[in-house]
Structure 1
Amino acid sequence: FLHKLRDEAKFDSLEALTAQIARDVSDAKAHHAALRVQMAD
């Protein structure tokens, strides 16, 4: 792994899990984009 998104968590509902997965995807994309910019410099 290049970057840890978050610690393990339990979710009260499928909706809460789905929302967290969406945030994780967004965070991973942002981290990847920042890493690409760093490597280009």
Structure 2
Amino acid sequence: MSVPGPYQAATGPSSAPSAPPSYEETVAVNSYYPTPPAP
């Protein structure tokens, strides 16, 4: 029922599963939501 890809990440960062995201998911999230520069 879960939809892989950017759609799942677009639903909200707070709804991320407890399991670590796969490489593809990480790339998709980073492409749509670039990580902010470190302080």
TM-score band, normalised by shorter chain: 0.3 to 0.5
- TM score, norm. by length of structure 1: 0.32
Give the structure with higher Rg (CA): 1
- TM score, norm. by length of structure 2: 0.33
